[in-house]
Structure 1
Amino acid sequence: MLNFEFHNPTRIVFGQDTTSSLHELVPRNARVLILYGGQSAERNGTLAEVRKALGDRTHYEFGGIEPNPTFETLTKAVGQVHARDIDFLLAIGGGSVIDGTKFVAAAAKYAGDPWHILETVGSVVQEALPFGAVLTLSATGSEMNFNAVVTRKATQTKAFFASPHVFPQFSILDPTKTYTLPPRQLANGVIDAFTHVVEQYLTYPVEARVQDRFAEGLLQTLIEIGPKVVHDPADYDSRANMMWAAAMTLNGLIGAGVPQDWATHLVGHELTALYGLDHARTLAIVLPSMLRVRREGKRAKLLQYAERVWHITTGSEDARIDLAIEKTRDFFESLDVGTHLSDYGIAADAIEGLVQQLQAHGMTQLGEHSDVTLETSREVFEASL
């Protein structure tokens, strides 16, 4: 097992009818900016609950944060923070809103060009506004970590940053908030959470038995409940397990002391930036091909994945690996998600532009061994057609 430090200060308040706890969690004298996405938070009553829980605290609202939050929109929110003398942020939504709020929290305290936060992957962040979250979509785990992804429309750049200063102080996780979500968003959440686990698990063995078993349990849970979450009427147990699993996939626990990959995410980002594909859809396209192209470097863990997650114990090593990758693709497709570029009208002539974007963004040595070159990424795109 590799050396590591683990610290997660986010307080989780989990369960039905817990939004009212904002009254105790938000400082009494806070000047609050509520950040949210579209009108669903208003329609489903979550914003009304939040306003009621805040009571007589001074608060303002900023809506319109996109599913892939943009630098351009978020800088407007930073302007509101300064204009209104805001000292506490409250994110109402899924990972995109929470990611965006993390950027606003950091940028509001940064004296330079806020894009530098993303150019330096967060190393320039020395402080941030405190914030909390009310989660309405289970997917990214942003409610319990210090990572965020932001897109700059002007340059079609999707960039990320991380800083311990942007851990949420608290996150409220009420599974009933997911009851009104459409199947597309639910499927995206399952795939996002699943791939988060894979990026930290399917690398190479380092005798991290605890982390491996945690990761395998999360994958099996998502396989069991994923189709039910997407296709069946909402029920508390499946949504509760989905919400907690998604948080656990990226809160630092299963990634402590193990090598991590993230090439699937970084390659997939270019599909979102250039073609507007949902983040999770890019993962469903890229992951099976990424595993196939890089099977030799991941052989030992792929065999472990085949046996422990998919219960594949017979056949040659190559046959077991092939079947495990195919079952992964089948799982995504069982959620009514396309797993090929052609499913989204993207043909072979798009590959060169995608590779050029990776080069422009410095994504030339990715993966746990830094051996995912531009040529490797090209192979992955070709295998994804």
Structure 2
Amino acid sequence: MFDFEFQNPTRIVFGKNSVAKLDALVPADARVLVLFGGSSAERTGTLAEVRAALGKRERREFGGIEPNPTYETLMRAVELVRAEKLNFLLAVGGGSVIDGTKFVAAAAGFEGDPWRILETFGGAVTSALPFGTVLTLPATGSEMNHNAVVTRASTHTKAFFANPLVFPKFSVLDPTKTYTLPSNQLANGVVDAFVHVVEQYLTYPVEGLVQDRFAEGLLRTLIEVGPKAVLEPRVDYDTRANLMWSATMALNGVIAAGVPQDWATHLVGHELTALYGIDHARTLAIILPAMLGLRRDAKRAKLLQFAARVWDITDGGEDERIDQAIEKTRTFFESLGVKTHLSDYNIGADAIDGLVAKLEEQGLTKLGERQDVTPTIARRVYEASL
């Protein structure tokens, strides 16, 4: 196991009717900006609950944060924070709203061009406004980590940043908020969480026994509860609670501590969102099976472990077991209604040059746990994903 330091300062408030606890979580004298996405937060009554819980605190609201939050939209929120001298942010939504709020928190007091936050992957951030979250869609884990992804619409650039200053102060997780979600959003959440775990687990062995077992438990839980959440019409609180907590645990740093991490699937998939607008989780479902297949030699030991411990595949030769594990993963995504080929989205071989060029433009030329995913390998992954 590698040496590591681990700290996660985010307070989790989990359970039914937990939005009402905002009154105790948000400072009484806070000047609050509530950030949210589309009309669903209003339609489902979540915003009404938030307003009631905030009481007489001075409050402004900023809606319209996109499913892939854009720099241009978020800068309007930054301008509002600066103009109104607001000092606390509250994200109400899923990972995109929370990611966007992290950028607003970092950019509000930033001196110079805020795009530098993305150009330096968060390294230029020296201060950030405090913020909390009310999670409505389990998927990204953004409610308990210090990572964010922002898209610059003008250049079709999807950029990542991380900084410990943008950990949420608290996150409210009420599984009943998932009851009104459409099945496609729930499916995206299951896939997103699953691939988050895989990116930290399917690398190479370092005797991180605790991390491996945690990761395998999360994957098996998602395989168990994912179809129930997505496909069964009856609302089941425990299923939704386990899905929500799995998605949070998938990317809060616990299973990443002391082990190598990959993230090539995410970064190669980002270009499909930036250039073609495919939902983030669905890009992961497209890229992951091809990525695992092409990199099987470097990942062999962990792929065999994945086959045995996650999919109960123990018979046959090594390559046969690996093939079965990858195919079971693809079938799992497909069973949720998430397609796994570029052709399902009418993207053909003529798109690959542009996708690879975008990776090269951003300097993403050495990806993966061994830094061996070059543009040449990325091209092969796109080709195998057709």
Compute the TM-score of the two structures, normalised by the length of structure 2: 0.99
Q: Following the alignment from structure 1 to structure 2, what is the Cα–Cα distance between the partners of residues 180 and 246?
A: 18
Q: Following the alignment from structure 1 to structure 2, what is the Cα–Cα distance between the partners of residues 10 and 256?
A: 17
The amino acid across from 2:312 in the alignment is H
The amino acid across from 1:288 in the alignment is P
1:302 aligns with 2:303: yes
1:349 aligns with 2:350: yes
- Displacement of 1:304 in angstroms is 0.3
Q: Deviations over 1:142-186 (max 9, x none)?
A: 000000000000110000100000000000000000100001100
Residue 238 of structure 2 is matched in structure 1 by 237
Q: Deviations over 1:239-298 (max 9, x none)?
A: 000000000000000000000000000000000000000000000000000000100000
- Displacement of 1:235 in angstroms is 1.3
1:379 aligns with 2:380: yes
Q: Deviations over 1:4-49 (max 9, x none)?
A: 1100000000000010000000000000000000000000000000
- Deviation beyond 2 Å, 4+ runs, structure 1: none
The amino acid across from 2:88 in the alignment is F
The amino acid across from 2:316 in the alignment is G
Residue 226 of structure 1 is matched in structure 2 by 226
Residue 166 of structure 1 is matched in structure 2 by 166
Query: 1:204 aligns to what SS in structure 2?
Result: coil
Query: Unmatched 5+ residue regions in structure 2?
Result: none
Residue 191 of structure 1 is matched in structure 2 by 191
1:96 aligns with 2:96: yes
1:248 aligns with 2:249: yes
Query: 2:154 aligns to what SS in structure 1?
Result: helix
Q: Following the alignment from structure 1 to structure 2, what is the Cα–Cα distance between the partners of residues 112 and 286?
A: 36
1:258 aligns with 2:259: yes
Q: Following the alignment from structure 2 to structure 1, what is the Cα–Cα distance between the partners of residues 159 and 241?
A: 30
- Displacement of 1:110 in angstroms is 0.6
The amino acid across from 2:4 in the alignment is F
The amino acid across from 2:220 in the alignment is Q
Residue 7 of structure 1 is matched in structure 2 by 7
Residue 122 of structure 2 is matched in structure 1 by 122
Q: Following the alignment from structure 1 to structure 2, what is the Cα–Cα distance between the partners of residues 57 and 278?
A: 36
1:71 aligns with 2:77: no
Residue 361 of structure 1 is matched in structure 2 by 362
Query: 1:155 aligns to what SS in structure 2?
Result: coil
- Displacement of 1:109 in angstroms is 1.5
Q: Deviations over 1:330-367 (max 9, x none)?
A: 00000011100000000111111101111111111000
> What pairs up with 1:315-334 in 2 under 5 angstroms?
315-334=316-335
The amino acid across from 1:223 in the alignment is I
Query: 1:154 aligns to what SS in structure 2?
Result: coil
Q: Following the alignment from structure 2 to structure 1, what is the Cα–Cα distance between the partners of residues 85 and 364?
A: 38
- Displacement of 1:101 in angstroms is 0.1
Q: Deviations over 1:61-92 (max 9, x none)?
A: 00000000000000000000001110000000
Q: Following the alignment from structure 1 to structure 2, what is the Cα–Cα distance between the partners of residues 124 and 359?
A: 23
Q: Deviations over 1:314-334 (max 9, x none)?
A: 000000000000000000000
Residue 146 of structure 1 is matched in structure 2 by 146
Q: Deviations over 1:360-382 (max 9, x none)?
A: 11111000000000000000000
Query: 2:168 aligns to what SS in structure 1?
Result: coil
Q: Following the alignment from structure 1 to structure 2, what is the Cα–Cα distance between the partners of residues 331 and 122?
A: 35
- Displacement of 1:194 in angstroms is 0.1
Residue 47 of structure 2 is matched in structure 1 by 47
Q: Following the alignment from structure 1 to structure 2, what is the Cα–Cα distance between the partners of residues 280 and 343?
A: 14
Q: Following the alignment from structure 2 to structure 1, what is the Cα–Cα distance between the partners of residues 181 and 363?
A: 36
Compute the TM-score of the two structures, normalised by the length of structure 1: 1.00
Percent identity of equivalent pairs: 72
Q: Following the alignment from structure 2 to structure 1, what is the Cα–Cα distance between the partners of residues 237 and 228?
A: 12
Q: Following the alignment from structure 1 to structure 2, what is the Cα–Cα distance between the partners of residues 149 and 264?
A: 15
The amino acid across from 1:340 in the alignment is H
- Displacement of 1:112 in angstroms is 1.1
Q: Following the alignment from structure 2 to structure 1, what is the Cα–Cα distance between the partners of residues 357 and 160?
A: 19
The amino acid across from 1:355 in the alignment is V
Residue 182 of structure 2 is matched in structure 1 by 182
Query: 2:252 aligns to what SS in structure 1?
Result: coil
